[in-house]
Structures are given as structure tokens and as C-alpha cells.
Amino acid sequence: MLAAIPKPPDSDTLADRVFAQIRRAIVEGEIAPGSKLSEPSLAERFAISRGPLREAMRRLEATHLVERRANVGARVVSLGAEQLVELYQVREILEGLAARLAAEAMTDAEIAELQGLLEAHRASVARDHWQAYFQSEGDWDFHYRIVHGSGNRRLIAILCDDLYYLARMYRCQFGMKSERATAALKEHGLIVDAIAERDGELADWLMRRHIRASRRHAEQCIASHPHHPTMRPVA
């Protein structure tokens, strides 16, 4: 059984729950990129008053999943191709560093949990005939675990708070349900092996190569499907 990453004391509110529900719907594609978000429709859908809903919407803007424009209103974000590449480039460098630090900082027990997580992922991918690699958010997300394993609070804030859900949205769109699944799983295995061997330099290199491969896959998807709903033209 995987140990959960420590969280703040429970202070769950109605706004918290609706924020989490809308965030999940956006990240997993139930609410499509570029979609207009109508507060009356959302209030009816989630049976919530406008006050808590507006608080949830403000938080969605802070996580970069929703953008608000004058005379347009709130919409789900839809990155241009260049912006998406920039996001992958930032992840490549910072998550490489996170893997390096994790190889030095994670305890033997935490590494064993990471290995157990990967085994659970392998079983899940096998059930889906090696064509889907869906990772639940948070503790069950391979990348999230490694970033937390780095022990670097500034890095955790950037990758798990500021960029996490935006990056996850594009991972869901381009990487979790495709021929990329099997390769990604193998790459994860190599990264875990390097961390277990306490080889931070190798873990860094493998993580950067892994994210670079994911970026190239996303670029191929964009080139093959230029009107993919996730994307918008570069301004």
C-alpha cells in the first residue's frame, strides 16, 4: 500500500470540492480546451451558489486552466503550439533536476513505494492492452511522486502547484491514451532504477530524455491533427 504524501489538515469546503470537480473535468477532457465557461450553467450543473463557484473559478485561473478575457469571459485554456513546447522545455529541465535530487533524498522506503507504484501502473497498462497509461492525479502520478521525492520545496511549488494541472491536461490529451503508453512506461522503469541505484546524474538524464520524447510525440500529434481541440493557432 502506497503511503500518501502528507497534506494540510482537512478544511474541505464547498468551493474546494467544486474546484476539484471542474479541474478534473478540464484536465481529463470532459470540458474541452477553449470551451466557454458559463457561471449560470456551472452553478446549475454542480448545484452550487454563485459565491463558492466564483471562488472556484478564481482558483482555476490561478492554476492556469482557465483564462478570462475582456468581452469574452472565462474559457478553458488552449495553448498555442509554441507555448506547449515551452511548457515541455520547462518540465524537461526542472523534472530532470527533481529526479537528480530524488536519487539523493528519497529514503529506501520511499523508493520501494515508487517501485510499487510502477508495478501497479504496469498492471493497469497491461489490462488496457498496452495502449493506455492513465495515471490518477497526485500520489498515484509517477511524476508527482518524484517531484515530491526531491525534497526541494521551491521545485515542488513550481511543478506541483503552479504547472502541474496544465501539464497534466496535455499529458492526458497526448500521452496517456496512445502508442506512446508502452514506451513511457519503459522509460519510467529506467528512471526508477537510476533513483534506486542513487545515480542522480543518470536519473536526471533519463528524465530529461523521457520528457523530450513526450514533447516530440505531442508535436507529431499536432502536425498530424492541426485542428486537435486541445490546440489553438499561435497568436
Chain region(s) in the chain for CATH 1.20.120.530: 81-224
- Give CATH superfamily name and number for 81-224: GntR ligand-binding domain-like (1.20.120.530)
Separation CA 184–CA 179 (nearest Å)? 9
Angle at 211 between CA 31 and CA 104, to 5 degrees: 120
Answer yes or no: CATH 3.40.50.1820 is held by domain 14-76: no
pLDDT, one tens digit for every residue, the chain (235 residues): 445 444 443 446 888 888 988 988 888 888 888 899 988 888 888 888 888 899 999 999 988 899 988 877 899 988 888 888 999 999 999 999 999 999 999 999 999 999 999 998 888 776 654 444 545 556 678 899 999 999 999 999 999 888 888 888 877 776 555 577 788 889 999 999 999 999 999 999 999 999 999 888 888 877 776 555 454 433 2
Amino acid at 199: D
- The boundaries of every CATH 1.10.10.10 domain in the chain are 14-76
| Whether 92 contacts 144, CB under 8 Å | no
Closest by CA position to 136, among listed 191, 176, 101, 192: 176
What pTM, to 2 d.p., does this model score?
Answer: 0.79
